Amino acid sequence: MLALLLAVAIGYVIPVSLESSEIASRVQVRWPDGILAFASGVAGAIALTSEERSGIVGVMVSVALLPPLVVAGLLLGAAEWSSAFGASLLTLTNVICLNLAAVTTFLIQDLRPRQLQAQPQAEQVTQAAYSIWLLLLMALVGVVLANRFYDLNLY
């Protein structure tokens, strides 16, 4: 939240150019962005469940989440609403892909609670999380495809 608020303030004060390649690359959702976020989610989940803790979770967040979030803030501050929507959609897509990848990784690793009585509840929570993230991803794909095919100009 702090990064977003700071970016909005900077975008309000300093002119933001949509012609910058760094900004322009983060105002549309593309397949490589989703793949990067999914890979980051897998790496983060593995890092959280391995015995050796590493800084990869921080790298995961900084690579997949911060760039589109900061661009969204800069564009909101500059009142570039359409482009800010696109950057926000990319941020949301990355959040969903990260979480879906983490839940999938945990399922593949077959992680289970230590106490047997907690296993059914853990399985229900995991299934619910997986279903929610998958539905959200499908909804986002629908919005992106509808925008591209029907030229809705949402972003």
Confidence band for 155, pLDDT divided at 50, 70 and 90: low
Give the pLDDT confidence of 86-136 residue by residue, as tens digits: 999 999 999 998 888 888 888 888 877 778 777 888 888 888 988 998 899
* pLDDT score, position 141: 85
Q: Mind listing the pLDDT tens digit for each residue in 14-45?
A: 999 989 999 999 998 888 888 888 888 888 88
Residue 91 CA to residue 101 CA, distance in Å, equals 15
| DSSP for residue 116 | G
Amino acid found at 71: V
CA gap 141, 61 in Å, rounded = 22
Is there a contact between 60 and 40 (Cβ–Cβ < 8 Å)?
A: yes
Predicted TM-score (pTM) of this structure: 0.81
Single-letter amino acid, residue 33: D
**Which token pair is 100?**
């879906």
User: How far is Cα 147 from Cα 153, in angstroms, rounded to an integer?
Assistant: 6
Q: What are phi and psi of 11, to 5 degrees?
A: -65, -30
